[in-house]
Structure 1
Amino acid sequence: MSGTPVQHWNLGIGPISCHAWNKDRTQVAVSASSNEIHIFEWKNGDWINVHTLDEHDLPVTGLDWAPNTNRIVSCSQDKNAFVWTLDRGHWKPELVLVRFQRAATCVKWSPLENKFAVGSGSKLVSICYYEKENDWWVSKQIKKPIRSTVNCIDWHPNNVLLAVGSCDFKTRVFSAWIKEVDDKPSPNPWGSKMPFSQLMGEYNAGGWVHQVAFSPSGCRLAYVSHDSSMSLVDANQDNTVSHTLRTMHLPFTSVRWLTENSIVAAGHEYSPILFTVQGNGLKEVCVLDVPSANKTASVNSALQMFKNIDK
């Protein structure tokens, strides 16, 4: 899979609505706006469909693949979530008691992979964990003050804090501490007392929040919304204030930290865009577009640019 910087494959299943990679990127789980999950494996220079999981009744809305435990979690418009475990070459589902009245919208494993969060159209987030005594997956719910559909979630590296973006034009940081599976959290820049569902921060957005992301240290939080803006919260400076950069681009739908000071956002435009943290705010650096000519040279230049950002 080397050569050109962007590889293109037609998996033959239609438009992909969600996907998740395994640890070494040799397999990928995808869903094409249906109730089925297809697992493709890289073999002999091509992607081969090796498993099809069809336990859900309605379209799958979220997937995440735990790199260390090798478990897949899925959620769907059918209001359910399943944990999939590979046993003797077959993926076996376990139903999770998420207790939703409306569709599940997103799902993500915690860093330690001992619990996961599921967002929903019910204006709440379920924090799910395995209850050994009863041998099933149960959940506790974060409800207030979320007032609309949850669009996105992201875990803090400490395995306790959870960022939540929703359609009420808000990004919030909650404590998702579960005493049954977590050690007592230590104080950090976001706060010192972290009982379950404690609101640690609430920040405004100019539209639906499409994606939230903690930085590698967990001290910074970035989020993008439907008004074509990106916002930054630096808990080391002030965890009550967000700094927003409005752009001339089409709305962003995803955001990812490359380093503690550099961020890539992408969305309804054709290319991802690089941003850096400067002072308390954000600065747009460039559009990461790779022209048809001199692709290899362009990629090498981009990689060198990433390396030089923090120097």
Structure 2
Amino acid sequence: MPESLSFGIEPITCHAWNRERTKLAISPNSPEVHIYNLERGEWKLEEVLKEHDLRVTGIDWAPNTNRIVTCSADRNAYVWSYQDGKWKPTLVLLRINRAATCVKWSPLENKFAVGSGARLISVCYFEKENDWWVSKHIKKPIRSTVTCLDWHPNDILLAAGSTDFKVRVFSAYIKEIEERPQSTPWGTKMPLGQLMAEFSNSTVGAGGWVHSVCFSASGDRVAWVGHDSSVSVADASKGMAVSIIRTDFLPFLSCLWVSEKALVAAGHGCCPMLFELDENSKMSYSGKLDASSKKESSGVSAMKKFQSLDRQARTESNDTSLGTLHQNAVTSLCLHTGTKAGATKFSTAGVDGLLAIWDFKGIETGMRGLKLN
């Protein structure tokens, strides 16, 4: 069984870990960000960050610089630095007129990107001369709200999913702070805002918003999940070939690479699921990672329950629990231990206020026949 932590009845909108995994930042569907600290095996509330006015929509914790960036429906983003035992906020000049929806630090932590309902991406970096965080915009050809972001390992390319059913890979090169980028399978010319690739999450009679995007450890592949219950992977090293699985499950809200050939997706189905790629980059569904099962009520056998229902001529209505650890939609996935090239643990947070840490060793033991490549 995975380790589970309950943070009350409020939904967890997003969460992030520090480098040592001894601190945890969550947003309980509010303008606040709660920082928890692991003390003697227990998670205790350490500090509440209250600078935002509306619901926090994104949190990311930079492991090396130990800075937290948050964004919110109030159209603002803050970079939080730990000074003198307290988290101090610095306002970021996003220059957007709609809600911020997601935020991600770049791998080198010298910049971050913020998606928004303003149909643009703000690529933010620190300007030493004026001692503040400024932004440059990527606009074309985005035609709707940007819902999700992820950085390529080279610190330059940025994948974005949006509600116009598109996944796009842009160059987020900031010449003021970076050297000229090297060529990749995605392309060679990389001025800021250059569209390197575009993929559609819609076909005739089907399609959906893109809820999550994720680059693989090598950066050659990008995966995404859509509201049409699909999971897709595009491979730049194979001529932008796309492999799509349209599942019968409820829509996924988040996806995460756990090895170069395996990814986990979770969402409204309340259960993380594993998908794997073969030698030809064709994807297949491997199974559910939640081995939990609904337990029989103590002292009441199935026969007695049936006899009671038959005698009273009514249907059972008081059993509303699901046969999964999460009892509502999973809103976010994060790496816990390891990297995208080989993760051993990952975490899920959900609308049920529960955060779970999943260990692949325990999952493989509990599910015979499952082997992570």
On the 8 A contact 2:289/2:363 being kept in 1, the answer is: no
Residues in 2 aligned to 1:55 and 1:250: alpha-carbon distance in whole angstroms: 35
SS of structure 2 residue aligned to 1:289: coil
Match of 2:173 in 1: 177
One-letter code of the match for 2:216? S
Letter in 1 for 2:44: I
Q: What displacement does 1:252 show?
A: 0.9
Structure 1 unaligned spans of 5+: none
Larger RCO, structure (CA 8 Å, separation 6 or more):
2
2:124 corresponds to: 128
Deviation per CA, 1:193-231, whole angstroms, max 9, x where unpaired?
A: 101000000000021000000000000011000001111
Structure 1 residue 304: Cα displacement? 9.4
Per mean C-alpha deviation after superposition, the further-off stretch among 20-29 and 164-173 is: 20-29
The structure with the largest alpha-carbon Rg is: 2
After TM superposition, where is structure 1 displaced by more than 4 Å over at least 4 residues in a row?
A: 295-298, 302-306
Seen in structure 2, the aligned counterparts of structure 1 residues 303 and 249 have a Cα distance that, compared at 3 Å, is closer
Map 1:10-29 → 2, pairs under 5 A: 10-12=6-8, 14-29=10-25
Q: 8 Å contact 2:257–2:264 — kept in the other structure?
A: yes
Partner of 1:238: 239
Q: CA-to-partner distance for each residue in 1:6-31, whole Å, 9 max, x for gaps? A: 22222247221111111111111111
Matches within 5 A, 1:23-172: 23-172=19-168
Give the conservation status (yes or no) of the 8 Å contact 2:291–2:367.
no
C-alpha displacement of 1:300: 4.2
Matched residue, 2:226: 225
Partner of 2:254: 254
> Does structure 2 retain, via aligned residues, the 8 Å contact 1:276–1:282?
yes
2:78 & 2:286 partners in 1: Cα distance? Answer: 40
TM-score (norm 1): 0.93
Give distance in 1, aligned partners of 2:183 and 2:367: 36
Q: CA deviation at 1:270?
A: 2.8
Count of equivalent residues:
303
Residue ranges of structure 2 left out of the alignment (5+ in a row): 202-206, 296-357
Question: Which secondary structure state, in structure 2, belongs to the residue aligned with residue 236 of structure 1?
Answer: helix
* Aligned-partner SS, 1:23: coil
Alpha-carbon RMSD across the aligned residues, in angstroms, is 2.0
- 2:5 aligned counterpart, secondary structure: coil
Amino acid at match of 2:113: A
Structure 2 CA distance for aligned equivalents of residues 151 and 162 of structure 1: 13
User: CA separation of 1:65/1:162 partners in 2, compared to 1, >3 Å: closer, same or farther?
Assistant: same
Distance 2:230 2:264 in 1: 13
CA-CA distance at 1:305 after TM superposition: 7.0
- 1:175–1:200 CA contact under 8 A, matched in 2: yes
Partner of 1:209: 210
Percentage identity across aligned positions?
Answer: 55
Q: Deviations over 1:257-308 (max 9, x none)?
A: 1111111111111321111112132111111122359x999634369977x5
